[in-house]
Amino acid sequence: MQIFSLNFFMYTISGIWRPIEWSSNVAKLLYNAFTFIVIVLEYFLMLTQFMDIVLVIDNIDDFATNTLLFLTIVSVCCKATVVLVRRKSIISLVQLLMKAPYKPQDEDEMVIQAKCDEFIKSCSIKYLLLVISSVTGMTIGSMLNVMQGHLPLRIWLPYDINASPVFWIISIQQIISTIFAAIINTGTETLIFGLSLQTCAQFEIYENRLRKLVTSKIASYLKHLPASSNNEKLIEISECIHHHLCIYKFAKTINIIFNQVLFVQFFGSILILCTSVYYVSTHMMEVKSATLIIYTFGMFVQIYILCWCGNEVMLKSMSVGNAIYHMDWPLLAASEKKELLIIMIRSTVPIKFTSSFLITLSLQSFGSILKASYSAFNVLQK
């Protein structure tokens, strides 16, 4: 798909998104096998880390380091599962942007759409580079651990892993799983980010269409042109109302598809942030802390991006009423003023992206997460 091509490319190389244009049954079968292997690797890593936390770990430092990596893998498994299970819904959602009323209809709307697409692509590339730097640091650290005879990540297995072939197989499996997890994580975060900004672009396109509609009506009144038939007026107004409702439906669908992802992401982020900050603050002079500092910074950026784009959607949805107010509506007929008033009243209810009705994506929520993480950090210090 042309829209979000970079995001879906990341999904494809990570094994959870077979390109929709593929028609060869052999290629589909091989890719499905690749997908199965990736999912098994991720869930195997999550399960073995969980068993290590439950059965082996007996001190707060090991608990902190293993828990933050475990929660990250849990989040990745959730994202991969959601993308695989709701593949058809995601395809339908993206394809909506290429159909009426979402599709740009004139040059001005194309400029708005192109600007949004370029911004999404630019931010996705920057975020990908940030993740690559973090993964590179973790991979180097993992290789150093392997050379010293330690696994890259702590896990529990019911058999001896000290034997040379088994040790190297598990080590390679963990490094590969970590790389796939990073790509899946990046693809999902940037996709949610992109869909949110596409919602903002739709509101800009909607305001542009509505402004041109009002301007054309006023121009016809001032020039004393024959008024359009009542039926034509209803069609014009109904199209605007329909587009407005479609944008709300589009945003609601995004929230429904990624609801569980947002819940796991925000719930895990609070624990990940406080544990990583705790470990770094108590082991500042250790080499391992450098990797965790990059990891913690990436986590802060990850949460901020989601909260920022959710906040932008909320503000854009509420700005429609203000945009209508600044149009030349006093010159319109009374019936048309009432119709615009209905749209303004609808815009007073903003679009809110929520994570299972617990957290609303906004900058205020980002501040609340930081406060909650700091509180949990203080508890761990005690």
pLDDT tens string, the chain, 382 residues long: the values are 578 899 999 999 999 999 999 989 999 999 999 999 999 999 999 999 999 988 888 777 778 778 888 888 999 999 999 999 999 999 999 999 999 889 998 899 999 999 999 999 999 999 898 888 878 877 887 888 788 888 888 888 887 777 678 888 898 999 999 999 999 999 999 999 999 999 999 999 999 989 888 888 888 777 765 544 444 443 477 788 889 999 999 999 999 999 999 888 888 777 777 777 777 777 766 666 666 777 777 778 888 888 999 999 999 999 998 998 888 888 887 878 888 888 899 899 999 998 766 788 888 888 887 777 677 666 656 6
**Cα distance between residue 189 and residue 374, in whole Å:** 24
Task: Report the pLDDT value the prediction gives residue 379, as an integer from 0 to 100.
Answer: 67
SS3 206: helix
Read off the pTM: 0.89
Residues 82-117 as b or e (16 or more Cβ within 10 Å = b): bbeebeeebeebbebbeeebbebeeeebeebbeebb
Domain range summary for the chain, segments of one domain joined by +: 5-381
Q: Which residue has the tokens 């209803």?
A: 234
User: CB neighbours of 158 closer than 8 A, spacing ≥ 6?
Assistant: none
Which of 330, 310, 376 is CA-nearest to residue 71?
376
Task: Report the pLDDT value the prediction gives residue 60, as an integer from 0 to 100.
Answer: 75
Dmax (CA) of the chain = 91
**Cα distance between residue 211 and residue 324, in whole Å:** 8
From the CA atom positions of the chain, what is the Rg in Å?
25
In this structure, what token pair is assigned to residue 15? 């094994």
SS3 150: coil
